[in-house]
Structures are given as C-alpha cells and as structure tokens.
Structure 1
Amino acid sequence: MHYGPDNRTLPHNPLKAIVAPRPIGWISAMSRDGRLNLAPYSFFNAVGDDMVAFSSTGRKDAMTFAEEGGEFVCNLATWDLREAMNDSSAPLPRGVSEFDFAGLATAPSRLVRPPRVADAAAAVECKWLQTVPLTPLDGSEAVNFLVIGQVVSIYIDDRYVTDGLVDTAAMIPIMRGGYFDYFAVRPENRFTMRRPKGAGDYKGG
C-alpha cells in the first residue's frame, strides 16, 4: 500500500512507526529567571561529532528555556527511569518543575546552568546555537522547530565505562517507536561490525 495525500486509509500517520526506534532526548533547560523544565523528545539525534538537535512541535518550554538561558542538557533515558521519563511529558503549566512532578533529583552540570537528572547514566551538556523554523512546502507558518546545540561536556556514570569505552547496552537505553511503543537496548541485542578497509574505525562514530 501507499500512504500519502491521496490515501489516508490508515488511522494514524505511519511515519513514527517506520522511523523507529528513535533515541530520546530527555531535555533539561532553565529559563532566564531560573525556572526548570524537563521533557522527552523523540525527534532527537546527534547531528555532528559535537552537535545535537531536537525538534519541537510548537514553541514548548524546553525550546524557549534553551533559547532564553542559552543552554540545555540531554539526559539519557534508560529502562530504570522509563516511568519518570514518561511522567515528565505531562503538560504542566510553564515554570512548574517536571523534576518535582516526576520525583527526580537534580545534579549540577559542569559547564552549563541547567542541572542533569541525578540518576541518569549519562548526560550531554550543550550550548544553544540556533532554532530553525521548519517551514512547510506550502509556505505556511512553521509549527515545527529544530533546536541545535553544541556539546561542551559529557557526564557518564563510571559504572558504564570499560577499558576507555562507553558500554551503551549496559545502560539499557530506551527508544521510541510508533504509537505507544518503546524499545529497550540490551546487551544480548548487541552485535559488532568493522567498517570496510579504508573507511575508518572509531573516529567520527
């Protein structure tokens, strides 16, 4: 079948079920006046060796706080924190702390003002670079915004560093699928492939 403007027979847009599983950017940000926001974004990824981006539908607090404060933190969403991560997506009034609502402790970041989730296995501290309005083909006003940050420091729980390498699977990251689906990355699902000769190895990811 084909799904598009001329065929909407499926009850939901299948894009999120196809572009999946997706990493979750669990974004903590602080407003100009020091209020905190914590929210998960599944339109999130690394977009360079030292840059990340997340996309917000509408000008939500994570985006506006990142702009106001000029900084944000991407906390790693993991299996043990799945319920708290989900709770932090509740539509709370502006300035009400999702940390408090989800029962999460904060820990100070190293180079940015917004704190990280204290129990997160890893957290990426970022300086806000720009927000790009994603204007649709028809030229109508943008409702989606791409928030780009440069990584300035990374926290990793020492338990997940072995022989100088981060053991991603041991942290059991969770990822977003379509609808209400999530996926967990576990050690038993890991496999390794070396790049073809001349294509490089660890450098550049």
Structure 2
Amino acid sequence: MYPPGQRPTDPCSTKRKKNDHGLPHNPFKAIVAPRPIGWISTLDKDGKANLAPYSFFNAVCDTPPIVMFSSTGYKDSVSNIDATGEFVCNMANLGLKDEMNQTSASVAHEISEFDLAGLEMAASRLVKAPRVAKAVTALECKHLQTLRLKTLTGDDTDSYVVFGQVVGVHIDESVIVDGKVDVTLYKPLSRLGYMDYAVVNEVFQMGRPKV
C-alpha cells in the first residue's frame, strides 16, 4: 500500500528521481523474487566459450518448451547467440554457488569464464555450445529471437531478451526420485533482491480445484 496522496512510480522511467521509492535501496528486485538463475553458456563465431549467469530468466511455455533470459547491455552471451543460434542454460545449484558468482565478473571477451572459475566443460548433444560438466541439469537451446526492449514512450532500452527453444535436456540421476526431479536434492539457486540468494529446501503440493 502507498501512503495517502503518494502514487506508485514507473520503475523504468528515465526521468524518475534517484530515490523516488523512499527507501535506501531499490525494492524492485526484492519484490519480484525469487528468480531462477539461468547460467548461459555459448560459443562465439570463433569457437571461444563464454559462461554467464542471468537472474532475469525463466521458462515461458512448455509446448514447445521455450526459455528466455534478459541481459542489461548487449553482452557476449547475446552477441554469441545472435551469431551462432545456439546456447545452453545450465541451472546453477547450491554446490556451484561460488563458481556461478565468479562467472558474473566483467572480463575481457577473450577470457573464458569456464577457465576463470575452474569449471570443466562437457559436450552437448544437439548444439555446439558446451555444458557445465558439474551442473546437475542443463537445457540445450536453439535461438528463436532477440528483442530489444522499449519504454512506454517508445525509446530503446539497453536491455535485450533472448528466446530459445529447448531441444535437449540433461538431468543427473542423483536428483531423480520416483521418476521426478526432486528440487530439495537439486537445490537450484534463486536470486532475491539486493545481494541475497536462496535455495528450495521444502516443497508442498496443491491440486487444482475441480469446478
């Protein structure tokens, strides 16, 4: 709720004040949380591997299975995908949190984040981009489209959304129980607001109501 006389502001407005939400830290990412982390691996046109985590990531449909991630800035992941048409979404889990964080560093294009974080690459089956060998799940993807986002006034932002169709799935058998992926064993990392992260340790079920 907003105090009387105070209206919500547009978080994307380029004309907003630096602190118009009235809090010492921007609450937007804390409100839209938790967010799964897509650990995107790609190859550039010369075959150099890149690996970077994106918390603006999610599945958008299941028939066919399509995922998306959004990059602030036209970074190597986006340019590599536009050039090669392929990528892998490795799902970072708790056991790989430090390596995932290391690959978020801004480094020169010629530096491979796999090497930077001491991560072994594994060959994919249907795309040329490599997987993170230790990732317990990974989605091989073919590029569908890249969209540059616009504001309400039609101005270009510096954010790019990449859509990919999943063509291959890798799951480590250690996280499969009774034919299902057990997220309490898998422990995928999620991004919260500020510098906060979380994992899923407990789940519950609810059936869809019958009418």
TM-score, normalized by the shorter chain, greater than 0.5: yes
Out of 90, 93, 99, which is 2:108 matched to?
Answer: 93
| Residue 117 of structure 1: aligned partner | 132
**Distance in structure 2 (CA, Å) of the matches to 1:168 and 1:62:** 27
Out of 56, 66, 89, which is 1:74 matched to?
Answer: 89
**Distance in structure 1 (CA, Å) of the matches to 2:107 and 2:164:** 24
| Residue 141 of structure 2: aligned partner | 126
Out of 162, 165, 175, which is 1:160 matched to?
Answer: 175
**Distance in structure 2 (CA, Å) of the matches to 1:30 and 1:48:** 25
Q: Normalising by structure 2, what TM-score?
A: 0.89
Segments of 5+ residues of structure 2 without an aligned counterpart are: 10-15
Aligned-residue Cα RMSD (Å) equals 1.4
Corresponding position: 1:169 with 2:184: yes
**Distance in structure 2 (CA, Å) of the matches to 1:159 and 1:144:** 37
Corresponding position: 1:103 with 2:108: no
**Distance in structure 1 (CA, Å) of the matches to 2:183 and 2:199:** 11
**Distance in structure 2 (CA, Å) of the matches to 1:26 and 1:185:** 17
SS at match of 2:79: helix
**Distance in structure 2 (CA, Å) of the matches to 1:65 and 1:85:** 19
How many residues align? The count is 196
Segments of 5+ residues of structure 1 without an aligned counterpart are: 199-205
**Distance in structure 2 (CA, Å) of the matches to 1:16 and 1:155:** 29
Listed one character per residue, the Cα deviations across residues 80-107 of structure 1 (whole Å, up to 9, x for unaligned) are 0000000000001013100000111010
Give the fraction of aligned pairs with identical amino acids, expressed as a percent: 52
Q: Normalising by structure 1, what TM-score?
A: 0.91
Listed one character per residue, the Cα deviations across residues 44-64 of structure 1 (whole Å, up to 9, x for unaligned) are 000010000000011001111
